[in-house]
Amino acid sequence: MRKVYLDNAATTQVRKNVIDKMQEALGDFYGNPSSTHSYGRSAKSAIEKARKTIAKYLNAHPSEIIFTSGGTEADNMILRCAVRDLGIRTIITSKIEHHAVLHTAEELEIEYGITLLYVDLDTDGNPKHSHLEQLLQQNDTKKLVSLMHINNEIGNKIDVDSISELCLRNNALFHSDTVQSIGHYPWDVQRTKIDFLTAAAHKFHGPKGIGFAFIRRNSGLKPLIFGGSQERGFRAGTEPFHNIVGLEEAFVTSYDNLEEEKAYVTGLKQYFVEELKRKLPGVHFNGNSGSIEKSTYTLVNVCLPFDPQKALMLLFHLDIKGIACSKGSACQSGSDKGSHVLAEILPKERLGKPSLRFSFSIYNTKEELDYVIDELVAFANS
């Protein structure tokens, strides 16, 4: 059976050079990084090298990079510590954020009695800057804005520069879940005055279970996890050294080849969009996902012109044909609930039709996309 993987927004294939680097780390550098002997010092030195490398590419200071288990932990840590340690009394977000942000903010509302506000969205799911400014000026409490750079379901890109300036003018902190952004778009945290961002290695061809948070120096945040003095005392626990060097290798490879790989994947997306329009009349691209300029080049979210009852078998049909894609985000798979993102932005007539997310990487080909489109057409005509 032919196998086609188009669920790269959920996780990506690990690069061969990353696997080799991790195997070397597991085999040769097994000392505890907190140990003072040569085995430990070697591991600790490599961790600090990885921290400096990531900081250099982001134009950050190494002390601003904190390794975490991934984006969810980093989002939770930043939001919870901001409320606990910085006196944040109002969080402003949107209803189409990742649940790592939404559910955390909802819990903080219950636990700490903070005010939780949602910025209005346009019909494509973009935050309205005028409404965000109104919310920032609504009361005199200390505020934090949390808006993701790239939406993990519909791919919309927000203007992080203008939002960061808006937050700065109104004395608010700005956090962005950049899990779908890091490794795919360049970042300069000196130019973009953001306070906190988060990343996960498995979204840019690195290992699962490792990510990082950028926390601007002198933020005032205190540890969420206590124990040893790892991560400069900010996050206790023995560092997963093999994962950290794997993250570094994937990070560097992604950015050193960014323009070439971005051009290739962009070509795949453009081809997929054009062929779907040509072969499946009535197809609709949710949010801005059909646009190269307004959304990420790595995914499309497609509303297909299929009968709702027939569509119940669509994912099963694609799976038995060896095609991997996603109904909403992978974090929601296995749930009876539909996509909270699509529920927020789609009109009722389109909510009843099937929507699928197809996401691309350098390991995909146009021939694979042709196969997927042919199977969708065959399903439509069956």
DSSP string, 65-95: EEEESSHHHHHHHHHHHHHHHH---EEEE-T
Annotated catalytic residue: which of 167, 303, 325, 331? 331
The encoded tokens of residue 335 equal: 């749930």
Among the listed residues 123, 115, 186, the one whose alpha carbon sits nearest the alpha carbon of residue 149: 186
CA distance 344 to 348: 10
Query: What 3-state DSSP class applies to 123?
Result: coil
CA distance 40 to 37: 5
The encoded tokens of residue 200 equal: 């996960």
Strands 4-5 vs 65-68: parallel, antiparallel or unpaired:
unpaired
Query: What 3-state DSSP class applies to 157?
Result: strand
Rg (CA), the chain: 21
Query: What 3-state DSSP class applies to 324?
Result: strand
**What is the side-by-side order of every strand in the sheet holding 115-118?**
65-68, 211-215, 196-200, 173-177, 143-146, 90-93, 115-118
DSSP string, 244-289: HHHHHHHHHHHHHTHHHHHHHHHHHHHHHHHHHHHHSTT-EE-TTT
CA distance 245 to 49: 9
- The reply to whether 81 belongs to the active site is no
Strands 211-215 vs 196-200: parallel, antiparallel or unpaired:
antiparallel
List residues with catalytic annotation: 331
